[in-house]
Amino acid sequence: MNKPNFKDMTKPFVSVALRAYNQSKLIIKALDSIVQQEVDFPVEIFCGVDLSTDNTLSVVSEYAKHLPEHFTLKVIEHTKSMGGARNLMSVLRQCEGKYIAWLDGDDYWVDKLKTKKQIAILEADEGIGVVYTNDYIDSPYAKNLFEERERPTLKENAFMQLLIANYITSETAIFRSDLLQFVDWDEYVKYEADDWFIWLECAAHKRFIHLKEHTSAATMYRTIEGDMTIASLKYAESLLGLQKYYLNKYPHLTTTTVQDIDDHYAEQMIRAGLMLNDIRLTQEAVRIHSLPKSMKMRLYYYCLSHKMSFRLYMWYRDIKGKNKKTSLQRYFY
């Protein structure tokens, strides 16, 4: 494929969708990582600033006044609370580039050649819709403060794999903007995992390529206010609805069944229940998982749905670990 003549372009070649909310202390790092990309083509940055209580808007607006060659920055100010999905939608629908990358205001890129590498792959093959990479976890809760995270390589039928789980972190990916024409935005705003929604739509039409390099960092300093279990249940039910929506929309692209999706959902609830030491999540697994595939799984869910057996399991798990002298009294209250 011939290299485009960027000098004659009246529109940007790449758009970066950046969304921000109360991230005045982190947004500069995200913006710096964008404008430090080594590119020879025009890049537009669209930053959607949700209604914030800090000075995120003024920080981004000031940054827009001092940009290097090839970059422009347009700010979308929301005067009422939009939420993450609607904020991103407002940005994506204004992007004019042939390709789109996106960042949340607290994530950033670490490879200055990230954009150029991914664009080269996309330009070489029209059948490729998305190029994603590995990343780092920037979090005090990780095993190491800056921990490598490997992403799986999706096979030819990426849709089937993505229908079960979202393997792509949004800050690593670049995709063809024309794939957004297939997105039903009224459906999109119903679900929590806005990036997963976009990847499933892309996978229904194009192939995915995994560039096995660590190009980005996802920060995990965010906290969830309120009841963690209620938040987990709300989020998980949203994901379940998203999966079933795409199963119904493109049934010919997968052999996955509703039962498979329910099985996976129940397993996630079991894991979350054990991690948070909260029986409500394991009970949710039993509720949704009415027809387990085997008697063993049925017995497993049944036991974990009862408080005494759940506590016994937690105690057993701990004595198998480092805490050999854990008292049973700790788990029965």
Angle CA 328–330–333, to nearest 5: 105
CATH 3.90.550.10 domain position(s) in the chain? 12-219
Q: Could you give the CA distance from residue 222 to residue 197 in angstroms, rounded to a whole number? A: 22
- Under CATH, which architecture does the 12-219 domain have? Alpha-Beta Complex (3.90)
Q: Could you give the CA distance from residue 277 to residue 280 in angstroms, rounded to a whole number? A: 9
Closest CA to 131 of 95, 90, 179: 179
Please report, in tens digits, the pLDDT of each residue of the chain (333 residues total): 556 666 656 689 999 999 999 999 999 999 999 999 999 999 999 999 998 899 999 999 999 999 999 999 999 999 888 888 899 999 999 999 999 999 999 999 999 999 999 999 999 999 999 999 999 988 766 556 678 899 999 988 999 999 998 999 999 999 999 999 999 999 999 998 889 999 999 999 999 999 999 999 998 765 545 555 566 677 888 888 999 999 999 999 999 998 888 877 777 777 677 666 676 776 666 666 554 555 555 555 555 555 556 566 656 666 555 544 444 344 333
Residues 6+ apart with CB under 8 A from 140: 221
Which helix (H) or strand (E) segment holds residue 197: the answer is helix 194-203
Which helix (H) or strand (E) segment holds residue 92: the answer is helix 84-92
Global model pTM greater than 0.85: no
